[in-house]
Structure 1
Amino acid sequence: MRRTLSAIITLTFSIIVNAQISGIITDKNSSEKLVGATVYIMELDKGTTTDTNGRFTLKNIPDNEITIQISYIGYQTTYIKWSPESNQYDLSISLEHVMIRHEEVVVSAGFSDTQHRNAISVDFLDNKQISSSPAISSTQLLAKFPGVDVAGGSPAESQPVIRGLSGTNILMLNNGIRLENYQFSRHHPFIVDEYGTERIEVIKGPASLLYGSDAVGGVINFIKELPAATNQMEAVFGSRYFSNTNGFNTTMAVKQSSENFQWGVRGVVKSHGDYHDGNNNAIPNSRYTSKALKNFIGYNFKNGSTKLFYDYSTDNIGLTIGGIDTITLGDSNNPIVYYQDLENHFISSKTTLFIGNTKLNANFGYQINKRKEIEIATAEEDGIAINSQLNTFNYELKAQTNLSDKIKSIFGFQGMYRNNANHEAEGKIIPDADLLDLSGFGFFQYTPNDKFVMQAGLRYDYRSLDVPLQERGSHEHGETTEETAHEEEYIELYRNFNNISGSIGATYNLSETSLLRANFASAFRAPNLAELTQGGLHAGRHEEGNMNLEAQRSYEVDLGLHNHHELFTFDISTFYNNITNYIYLAPTGIIEDENPVYEYRQTPAGLAGAEAGIHYHPSSAKWLHIKGTGAYIHAQQKDGSPLPFIPPLKGNLEIKIEKDNWAFLKRSFFQIDLDLASKQNNPSEFETVTNGYYLVNAMAATELNPGTINIELSVSANNLMNIQYVDHLNLLKDLGYYNMGRNISIGLTARF
């Protein structure tokens, strides 16, 4: 009996001891111990750093396969797939010093795996690139990706465009949960903030089956920042000044982690005046202000983790419309007439649980989006033209398991309930409505050997849209008669949409440095509430829905080639996207109350294009980096006429000089880059030709390390030559307004 009890105690103690992983991290060539390297468990969102001896310890490790990420500035990030079966609890890891990092793990494609092992190509920006960017708004950051453009007026009033598709053809995710905030209009930006973001991942095209049927254009995922290292508290202050808008972006944050508990809080304030073009003309009412508060708490246990997030923001975004230049707007950065008053609450939770060799995820989100459009308030009236509220509940349940040593799988269910309600105001653009989404999916990865990876999946989506009988928007077209009165003034609609999406793709390694990637995907998108029912004067034009619209169906083929060496990387990809029943908004030629009337139409369409990128680091000049990217899209209707709002051929050339140590300065660099856009001489029937342009930009940055504080300093100049130009996707082009002129920004970030 005593021997049995002793054996049980010994086994129990052994399990407790084995519930942690330790190790040492060194330089591969010199064997020097690396102090301050980051060691992070991706599945638990938990990590630590190495001590003065280069050692680390990770406790409460689940009895399941996990991905350990080891990173250090100037070294190639390393990933270890660890499992209890390996019986390795004391690791010795060597990192290789590299000039060009060429492989990172991405999470938006489904499996936490490197870019080279995903059939779906995923681009990303990391937190260093995000924090040092001189972009005024989160959307402007996305223009760094080839094939991704920004359509907009003011910096805050802009939307991403992926391979010629925008609006509800794109899914924007806040930490993996889809954002819902009236994304039907050119004036409605996604409400997501770049501060507190660890990385931004972009999937181009309909290949992703994990997030919803609406992702026919692509997916953009803002992934939240990592918690503090275990048993540490971290704080940050950052501020950046922008000369063109006389504006500031400022953030403060603090976060702390123990062995099991994590918490963090961050505040963000942005304030910008009207931007100026290359002739120093102010673009009236392009100003905006924004305030945000972000909080999270989390708990890690042996077989999983759970985290709760709350994001709150309030934004006042000016509307630049026809005739606004004749109104007194004042000198303040705060809009006072014709602006969007937005309030957004986003509560979400993410829970991971390991059971046997299965990883379970339960993710939930609840969003409250309050939207007001303010015209001119008087003593008698509050000037509220639109007052609506969108409540959205999202859920996702999925299981990831290894069916064999070569086959991984993900099965899941997703759902969404959305309610739109109009409150007291002059009018309503879209009616009160309820929307219900239900979906299920399965996704598989087959890896027969080190050279070949295949991924395939299917997804089923069901959507019901219920618009109860109610008074329609705030205007009528033409003379109303007894026969047309009911049709003009009331609306009622109930429609169901359902279909299957699918994808299949593969990555094949031609050699240790080259790989081919191919993917075929088909997805559908149901028409949204605005496209079916919209009616009313909205930001200077009447927009009319079409209740007879059918769902879009997309068929896309992607082919890509990647090549990487120690001093060189090269990527090229090409695609063709055939869309049946493509939905777009077009002018009717009718003018009502001095405002043009637009309506939603459908047509078969085809979009084809290519993207390429090169990064070269000469061996004879270790301080020099040369990068180049380019993207081209050709899009047309079945009859051969061009689709609207398609960007022209664009390219970027960047030359960067960097030095790790220079006197007391650390990781300093200077870069100059050239943005090129060709003439768009193939516009749609209601667009005009847009001339090409070039922009010269420059940036310098460095770091200081006084004591335990890390200080990052940067200065940049966008459109250094102060060129007066207009981009083809400029929403203010028809009003005769140009894009932003020279903008010099100065940034400081202090980490404690």
Structure 2
Amino acid sequence: MKKIIIALILGFTAIVSGQNSVSGKITDTNNQPIIGVSVYAPELQKGTMTNENGKYTLSNIPLGTVKLTFVFIGFATQNKTINVQQKETVLDISLEETEFQIDEIIVSTAFNKIQSQNVVKVEHATIKELQKKGTATLIESLATIPGVSQVSTGTSIGKPVIRGLSGNRVLVYSQGVRIENQQFGDEHGLGLNDAGIESVEIIKGPASLLYGSDALGGVLYFNPEKFANSGTFKTDFSQKFFTNTLGSNSSLGLKTSTENWKFLARGTYNTHSDYKIAEGDRVTNTRYNETDFKTGIGYSNSKFSSVFRYNYNDLDLGIPEEGIAEQTTSKTTEYPKQWVFNHLLSLNTIVFFKKSKLDIDLGYIANDRSEFEDSEVAVLQMNLKTFNYDAKYYLPKFGKFESIIGIQGMSQNNKNSGEEYLIPDATTNDFGIFGTGNYEWKSNVIQAGLRFDNRQISTTAHGISGEEGSFEALAKSFDSFNASLGYKTNITKDFILRLNVASGFRAPNLAELTSNGVHEGTNRYEVGNSDLKTEQNVQTDLNLEYKSSHFEFFANGFYNHINNYIYTSPAGEIIDNNAVFEYIQNDAKLFGGEIGLHFHPHPLDWLHYETSFQTVTGKKQSRSLGSDYLPLIPANNWNNTIRTEFTIKKWLEDGYATLNVSSTFNQDNVSGFETKSNGYTLINLGLGGKIRLGKTAFDINVNGNNLLDKIYIAHLSRFKTDGIPNMGRNVVLGLNFNI
């Protein structure tokens, strides 16, 4: 069957000219060949593996500069940039054994450097690593990374928080396209499933230079699943079970590649009952069901690479209003509920010239969000259609100086179809132009850039002026200039220092400009302010990083000053028994950081100890108010993990066992409309590895989260005001088969 599918695709493969190739042999430090090393060209999204002699060949490689990555478990990853100027280029590699994390190429930054060469510190984690933690959702697993938290509504809705900033202040990218799904609302989640995602990169700071408005607080950049190696066909099936929600997650994927063509597809179904708190009761209507489908097709040769991807996500989730009421294990959502459909289409094309390249991303997102109160007729239905474009031209390298110029923009239309309106019908248009340069000498790098943006928003009048749910016509234009400057140096061979100063901005969203009604879940009447100005910030980051063969250490510190920070404040009025809150602005500041270490003692090669601590403080600055804390600032957290690695004869490979102790401290620094939160400590265990039974092999992981069934309420839980605890004990069993 595999041979037939490959032959069919080969039948459509065009014959192309310019058969440039890179080949070589990969050995260890004893000059012995290594079998099964992954050799990957990220820009071409193609790869291969070494044969029994440690040899590899990559064909149809463009002339000029090409990046290659060499990865094998237990060995340090090598990333090579080569200059292809002839039809056959030979590159031999020697890999060294290591127990630490690999040094990945970072896609979300300007010049796609490996982490150790990058001017900006970027957190990188593979989805496979995050899934080993046994969390129920994608955003819950992201919240285990230092500096990242989540605003949660049960298990079904989570919004990322980066160093105290969330909502429209954090930009999310998937398939190279910015996600637009009405994320202004606290009850609106990411709308992404982790199946079919390879890894995530997190920029913790303003990234407006590359991404424009809404990247004021940072960026979550999800890298899609890689295609299969050339000439291979792969299928896999994974299954996860969750004891707390009686949940199930099933995913089936297939992918194949020829020398030029690539194809993959993955379908996933996720279903959960109401989650159970430590006392044994379930929180009514926190159940949800999710269907996700991803597919992609690509073609590459020595002149260009083009990849088209599509993601469909269907999320049916209950809206919990009664707290702990009817006890049931049903997975059928009750009223009120939400139904969210999301279509994401993306096209990435890279055209290679002899000494430069053009990288173009086009994206289209259709988001349909409906809310049902007591029948199948949606009382609230918002249709959001967004077209994104991003073009970057990598100029010819001039000595040690690299540079990029680019344009970026978005055209967006929001239309209401239900009888209730949260925001008016509106059109938004963005346009930005930028340039950035990178100069490298010895172990030093300087990177700088400048950008200009314009956002235009126009809305349509609705309803009777002065009444709830009415909106007046609005036409606004927002401009912003932003810049960044960064420096990286190796103080010693193993000790890196990074210092960055960058500005960012965020234009006010439609809810902040136009709100006129009761905001769901907050029990307050919110009034927008059409005179709001653009939020503008400047953040300074300092990163220190030490890495040797048995010890890693990092320390990150930041100070973030925001002009015209937008938030809600009581107006002193009551409408329909709801307190009225108005959107106002004041300057604000956030400061804090993360510190951690990873110790791998020799000769105890099977033992790892990791610890990290994160803290952030956010304050408003106003002459009239004095100084008041910002809302939704996560509590300090100290995370400790002991991990062992082992092999048991021939039936268990890459085995691991982890003990994690996560301590969250009291949060006493709260805004005037929040309550303080008590600290808590959670114990988590994990066990897994690859099991071989004859010719059958599969990956297994078992996780016990909140193993002691601790009763606690997270400070950023939206159930906190109702006194509803977070999830109790949850045991997760995960299986993955390569068919």
Specify the alignment match of 1:563 in structure 2: 546
Specify the alignment match of 2:719 in structure 1: 732
> 1:102 touches 1:564 (CA, 8 Å); kept in 2?
no
Out of 689, 697, 705, the residue aligned to residue 684 of structure 2 is: 697
Out of 430, 441, 463, the residue aligned to residue 471 of structure 1 is: 463
Specify the alignment match of 1:580 in structure 2: 563
- Give the Å deviation of 1:269: 0.6
> 1:709 touches 1:751 (CA, 8 Å); kept in 2?
no
Q: 1 CA distance for matches of 2:676 and 2:304?
A: 56
- Give the Å deviation of 1:150: 1.0
Out of 483, 499, 503, the residue aligned to residue 518 of structure 1 is: 499
How far does the alpha carbon of each residue in 1:80-138 deviate from its partner, in whole angstroms, 9 at most, with x for none? 11112499712221111101136322111121211121111110111431443412111
Specify the alignment match of 1:481 in structure 2: none
Q: 2 CA distance for matches of 1:522 and 1:17?
A: 44
Unaligned runs of 5+ in 2: 1-15
Specify the alignment match of 1:395 in structure 2: 389
> Alpha carbons of 1:330 and 1:706: their partners in 2 closer, same or farther (altered >3 Å)?
closer
* 1:426 aligned onto 2:419: yes
Task: Map residues 335-734 of structure 1 onto 2, 5 A cutoff.
Answer: 335-377=333-375, 382-423=376-417, 425-447=418-440, 449-471=441-463, 476=467, 489-540=470-521, 541=523, 542-588=525-571, 590-638=573-621, 639-660=626-647, 662-706=649-693, 710-734=697-721
Q: 2 CA distance for matches of 1:617 and 1:625?
A: 5
Specify the alignment match of 2:152 in structure 1: 152
How far does the alpha carbon of each residue in 1:239-276 deviate from its partner, in whole angstroms, 9 at most, with x for none? 11111111011110000000000111100111011111
> Alpha carbons of 1:94 and 1:151: their partners in 2 closer, same or farther (altered >3 Å)?
same
Give, as a single letter, the amino acid of the residue that structure 2 aligns with 1:537.
Answer: V
Secondary structure of 1:286's counterpart equals coil
> Alpha carbons of 1:304 and 1:489: their partners in 2 closer, same or farther (altered >3 Å)?
closer
Q: 2 CA distance for matches of 1:676 and 1:748?
A: 29
Q: 2 CA distance for matches of 1:325 and 1:697?
A: 26
Q: 1 CA distance for matches of 2:330 and 2:150?
A: 26
Q: 2 CA distance for matches of 1:130 and 1:67?
A: 26
- Give the Å deviation of 1:499: 1.0
- Give the Å deviation of 1:309: 0.7
- Give the Å deviation of 1:193: 1.5
Secondary structure of 2:97's counterpart equals coil
Give, as a single letter, the amino acid of the residue that structure 2 aligns with 1:19.
Answer: N
Q: What TM-score, normalized to structure 2?
A: 0.94
- Give the Å deviation of 1:212: 1.6
Specify the alignment match of 1:48 in structure 2: 48
> Alpha carbons of 1:93 and 1:208: their partners in 2 closer, same or farther (altered >3 Å)?
farther
Larger mean Cα displacement after TM superposition, 724-733 or 204-213: 204-213
Secondary structure of 1:116's counterpart equals helix
CA RMSD of aligned residues (A): 1.9
Q: Give the paired residue count.
A: 718
Q: 2 CA distance for matches of 1:595 and 1:369?
A: 30
Specify the alignment match of 2:194 in structure 1: 194
> Alpha carbons of 1:179 and 1:609: their partners in 2 closer, same or farther (altered >3 Å)?
same
Specify the alignment match of 2:226 in structure 1: 226
Give, as a single letter, the amino acid of the residue that structure 2 aligns with 1:225.
Answer: E
Q: Percent identity?
A: 35
Q: 2 CA distance for matches of 1:375 and 1:325?
A: 19
Q: 1 CA distance for matches of 2:618 and 2:599?
A: 32
Secondary structure of 1:585's counterpart equals strand
- Give the Å deviation of 1:429: 0.3
Q: 2 CA distance for matches of 1:386 and 1:67?
A: 48
Q: 2 CA distance for matches of 1:422 and 1:207?
A: 31
Secondary structure of 2:513's counterpart equals helix
Q: 2 CA distance for matches of 1:624 and 1:662?
A: 19
> 1:469 touches 1:492 (CA, 8 Å); kept in 2?
yes
- Give the Å deviation of 1:593: 3.5
> 1:460 touches 1:498 (CA, 8 Å); kept in 2?
yes
Q: What TM-score, normalized to structure 1?
A: 0.93
Secondary structure of 1:129's counterpart equals helix
- Give the Å deviation of 1:601: 2.2
Specify the alignment match of 2:3 in structure 1: none
How far does the alpha carbon of each residue in 1:6-46 deviate from its partner, in whole angstroms, 9 at most, with x for none? xxxxxxxxx97871111111112x32221111000011111
How far does the alpha carbon of each residue in 1:584-640 deviate from its partner, in whole angstroms, 9 at most, with x for none? 234556554344444322111000001112100010311100000111011111121
Unaligned runs of 5+ in 1: 1-14, 478-487
- Give the Å deviation of 1:386: 0.4
Q: 2 CA distance for matches of 1:490 and 1:162?
A: 32
Q: 1 CA distance for matches of 2:130 and 2:735?
A: 13
